[in-house]
Amino acid sequence: MLDSFLKLKLNLLHLGHITLGSEWQFEGVISPFSRLYLVTKGEAWVWHHQQKFHLQPGYLYLIPSFTLSRYYCNTTMTQYYISFLEETESGPSVFDLLPFCYEVPVLSFDKKLFKRLLELNPGRSLQNIDPKVYDNQSNLLSFNRTPQDQSASQQMETQGILLQLLSRFLQNTSETTSKQAQAHIQLRPVLNYIHAHLHEKITVEQLAALQRLNVDYFSRQFQNQLGIRPIHYITNKRLERAQLLITSSSLSLQEIAEQVGVADIYYFSRLFKRRFGLPPARYRKNNGQV
């Protein structure tokens, strides 16, 4: 299935081995690249995709690009880390095309793979762990390059190791999954627009215009491909974003409501309770932050 509709290339950005402490606490991180972690000592936590992941030895962790996430360490944690950009022949992110999990058990040779990457790619470590520093475009461009002194064999080996590590997170696919991936490819401009403008008013007319279709035809096509009406998809994404912000940030409920495009706090609370069974204030209390 993978070879049938995409050719994947991974571009290494950052790579290192580091011990972190309580300074590793960041909220609202949305990076344009993906991350891989292998923890060797200690522990920490990461929130993304409406889940809380306990970073601990014995597991590999994946955080896809453009994922809203939060990082928290209150003691110490030692980890190998990799960040990379992904490119596919068809354009969409591989994470929109194939189903991935985000936590898998470490295999006996995984640590050797990270060490080999460090040997092949020296000088790629982060000098500042703050995402606001290393996520900026100028820093990305400085890392997103092929070292002039790296041979073709080293470049190929680097690519192979990255693909090997990423493949570990790929879930079993099926014909149904393939159809869903194709639907996401066709609707990629629309889905990108929705995710980028959740804090604003979004109309079905705007989305139909992106596809150059009339509203009725676009709505039918959207529902046929994704199994949900466009307006319900938008509402679901607003509430999913709100759920993550409630459990992973210190923003007020009013601020969260505004960030997901439902500024009326009473209407926001009704929508949230209808979806998750609890009003947002009680949901936050029941899912207390560490």
pLDDT at position 65 is 84
Single-letter code of the amino acid located at 247: T
Q: Check pLDDT > 90 for residue 4.
A: no
pLDDT at 11 over 60: yes
Could you tell me the two tokens for 259?
A: 């960030």
Q: Domains in the chain and their CATH numbers?
A: 2-167 (2.60.120.10), 187-286 (1.10.10.60)
**Tokens 């947002």 label which residue?**
280
pLDDT of the residue at 80: 98
Name the pTM for this structure. 0.70
Give the model confidence (pLDDT) of 30-74 as tens digits: 787 899 999 999 999 999 988 899 999 999 999 998 788 899 999
Q: What is the pLDDT of residues 119-142, one digit of tens each?
A: 999 999 998 888 877 765 444 544
Other C-beta atoms within 10 Å of 261: how many? Answer: 19
Residue pair 93/112 in contact (Cβ under 8 Å)? The answer is no
